[in-house]
Amino acid sequence: MLEGILTGLSTAISPVNLMMVMVGCFVGTFIGMLPGLGPISAIALMIPITYGFDPATGMILMAGVYYGAIFGGSTSSILINAPGVAGTVATAFDGYPMARRGEAGKALAIAAYSSFSGGTIAALFLLIAAPSLAVVSLAFQSTDYFALMVLGLTAVAAFAGKGNVIKALLMTVLGLMLSTVGTDETQGVQRFTFGTMDLIDGISFLLLAMATFALSEALMSILRPKTDADRLREMEAQKNLGSMKLKGSEVREMAPVVGRSSVLGFFVGVLPGAGATIASFLAYGMEQRLAGPKKGAEFGKGSIRGLSAPETANNAASSGSFVPLLTLGIPGSGTTAIMLGALISYGIQPGPRLFIDNPAVFWSVIISMYFGNVILLILNLPLIPYIARILAIPSTILIPMILFFSLIGVYFVSFNTFDIHLMVIFAIAAVVLRLLDFPMAPMLLGFILGGMMEENLRRALIINNDSWSFLWERPLTLSILVIAALVLVVPMLTPHMKRLKTRVYDKAAEGG
């Protein structure tokens, strides 16, 4: 192992490969900032360019584009509420409110530091434990994945305001329903397509995210006329755009969040099929639970913890997703699936023998991630004051720009005008739901987890001859489901427990 690490280090620090890390990070960051264009599109475009490269050099370039896009995707989420990539949707929940109250520079700095920390910690984990973690990821079966998806769905309470848990649950169900549209992958049957060929492949997550966040936000800005207080707040916000200073208390508050979210994000990334998006939602939900009533109430309103957690987790998961790719040959996401194809085109078979047969490729990609995170921080921090100036653009110009980039970004993914029509319909529906105080995040969470949840449930039932006994027969599955039940029930019971305690104390005071 030590010999392989030294081989990878000598490969990664060669001038050509260091330059490729820089190019990949720069291109990825820029693409991540543009709503609609994600790392999948970027890496797909990079494959023809990398054909003439050494396999290690080509993979280092594509890896740089991947985590660069995740790193850069937070910018559009924070500044204009338009997630650049799916993994940064949760970033918008607290990053955008911070930008609106005049802390855009600070929000971008928190995102940069959190991304760097998550990516660096995950790269170290990857360096030390990659071969061993492959065994752990193989131990997970369909039943465990189903339980993990159920645990993820219990995070809905984190996205619900006080007294809005029922609304959050209803929106989660709506997300689950939308995830069933399209062709059933198991049986090949079309579901809820209404005879429309354009819905055979289902609804795009990017389309739904852009419609419910970027497009609906632009429409809400038009519908809600600005008051004098709003205009004053905008003027104050524009004065403080470049402020990136973090107080000591804020750094101390972020530190444990970064640690927990790095570990959670990395291990979620290790699981094939999970990825950065699920990791960011799980980290956000976990931190909202751990924050307590006072700090937890700040989530969704510009919480430092609420911004730091998903940004740390999605970058850690991006590094973690290389474990199943390199050690098992199993892509953990659409992006790593394209990278798997690139590896095979080089004549390299990913799997358990990769770090033995091709140690230069295996270890150089892992080591380059650490250099990449340093380069991303150096690239992004000096640019924050200039990037944040986007908020100084008058709303009469900014809103049409958001509408344009949202619509064009979705169109460039499919080149289908039907997606534009569908996006507008979803945006109008989102505006109505937002006016009725329904949260959008639970719907996206249900949509993300719905497909994987159904697929793993079916596999589990087939393996167990249509018996539901798998829910309690496997200790790991049962443990995850028990945790999910506690996560869902405890917050609901807490107010009742408080009222009961108050009554007991009142009665005791009266008796005394």
pLDDT in tens, 261-320: 999 888 888 776 667 778 888 888 888 878 777 787 788 888 888 899 998 998 888 888
CA–CA separation, 88 and 391 (whole Å): 19
383-401 pLDDT tens trace: 777 766 665 667 677 778 7
pLDDT of residue 104: 80
Retrieve residue 175's tokens: 């997300």
- In three-state secondary structure terms, 190 is strand
pLDDT of residue 261: 92
**Dihedral class, residue 275 (left if φ above 0, else alpha if ψ from -120 to 50, else beta):** left
Residue ranges in the chain modelled with pLDDT below 70: 1-2, 4, 34-38, 40-41, 44-45, 48, 84, 130-131, 133-139, 155-163, 225-244, 272-274, 328-334, 337, 351-353, 355-356, 387-393, 395, 413, 490-499, 501, 504-512
Are 264 and 151 spatial neighbours (Cβ–Cβ below 8 Å)?
no
Burial of 18 (0-12, 13-18, 19+ CB in 10 A): middle
Instruction: Say how many domains are in the chain.
Output: 1
CA–CA separation, 274 and 73 (whole Å): 19
- In three-state secondary structure terms, 96 is helix
Query: What phi and psi, each to the nearest 5 degrees, are found at residue 195?
Result: 75, 10
Find the angle CA(386)-CA(390)-CA(395) to the nearest 5 degrees: 160
**How does DSSP classify residue 352?**
T
How distant, in Å, are the alpha carbons of 81, 238, 427, 471, 499 from that of 98?
11, 12, 23, 42, 33
Residue numbers of the domain that contains 70: 2-511
pLDDT of residue 429: 92
Neighbours of 102 (CB within 10 A): 19
Provide the greatest CA pair distance for the chain.
86
User: Which value, in Å, is the radius of gyration of the alpha carbons in the chain?
Assistant: 23
pLDDT of residue 332: 59
Q: What are all long-range contacts of 451-458, with beta carbons under 8 Å and residues at least 24 apart?
A: 451/179, 451/202, 452/145, 452/149, 452/273, 453/146, 453/149, 453/150, 453/153, 453/176, 454/179, 454/180, 455/185, 455/186, 456/142, 456/143, 456/145, 456/146, 456/149, 457/142, 457/146, 458/186
CA–CA separation, 507 and 501 (whole Å): 10
Find the angle CA(23)-CA(83)-CA(269) to the nearest 5 degrees: 70
pTM of the predicted structure, to 2 decimals = 0.69
Retrieve residue 64's tokens: 């740089």
**How does DSSP classify residue 214?**
I
CA 350 to chain centre: 25
CA–CA separation, 133 and 126 (whole Å): 9
Sign of CA dihedral 232, 234, 238, 241: positive
CA–CA separation, 471 and 176 (whole Å): 21
CA–CA separation, 286 and 94 (whole Å): 15
CA–CA separation, 137 and 266 (whole Å): 12
CA–CA separation, 410 and 475 (whole Å): 43
Query: What phi and psi, each to the nearest 5 degrees, are found at residue 275?
Result: 95, 180
